[in-house]
């Protein structure tokens, strides 16, 4: 069995969010898994995901905002959003992890 890919890796250009794509059916998913969530094939490739996107859904709880982000490559991912007060549907964001947490910062 292949080892599971990490959600993000550090590169010379900074942290990169990772997902998978299936060689069999072409489905892509996040977070990375050892198999395709659509067809259950283990014939997968780890891919780098786009670093920018737009907020599609957002919720806040106790000074923390979380949401669904539609990345510019079409992938839908979930993560924290900062600043909390500005987290609104439609806002542009960029990937900006903090420690090992998937997080996005508003850029517009």
Report percent pLDDT > 70 for the chain: 95
- Same domain for 66 and 96: yes
* pLDDT above 60 for 60: yes
Is it true that the peptide bond before 58 is cis, omega within 30 degrees of 0? Answer: no
* pLDDT above 90 for 6: no
Q: Is residue 68 part of a domain?
A: yes
**CATH number of the structural domain spanning residue 24:** 2.20.28
Where do runs of H (alpha helix) occur along 17-62?
A: none
- Same domain for 78 and 36: no
Stated length of the chain:
108
- The answer to pTM > 0.85 is yes
46/33 Cα distance (integer angstroms): 9
Q: Is residue 41 part of a domain?
A: yes
How would you classify residue 26: left for phi > 0, otherwise alpha for psi between -120 and 50, otherwise beta? left
Whether the CB-CB separation of 48 and 18 falls below 8 Å is answered with: yes
Once rounded to an integer, what is the mean pLDDT over residues 57-79? 94
Instruction: Give the tens place of pLDDT for each residue, 31-49.
Output: 999 999 999 999 999 999 9
CA atoms within 13 A on the CB side of 49: 28
Give the structural domain span for 34: 8-48
* pLDDT above 70 for 54: yes
Which residue did the predictor score with more confidence, 3 or 60?
Answer: 60
- Same domain for 57 and 15: no
Give bridge partners of residue 68 from the DSSP assignment. Answer: 57, 78
For the chain, the domain total comes to 2
């Amino acid at each position: 069995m292949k080892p599971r890919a990490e959600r993000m890796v550090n590169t010379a250009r900074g942290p990169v969010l990772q997902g998978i794509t299936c060689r069999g059916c072409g489905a892509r998913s996040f977070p990375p898994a050892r198999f395709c969530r659509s067809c259950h094939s283990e014939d997968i490739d780890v891919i780098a995901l786009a670093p920018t996107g737009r907020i599609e859904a957002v919720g806040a709880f106790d000074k923390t905002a979380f949401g669904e982000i539609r990345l510019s490559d079409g992938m839908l991912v979930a993560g924290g959003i900062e600043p909390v007060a500005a987290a609104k549907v439609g806002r542009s964001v960029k990937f900006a992890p903090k420690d090992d947490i998937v997080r996005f910062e508003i850029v517009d």
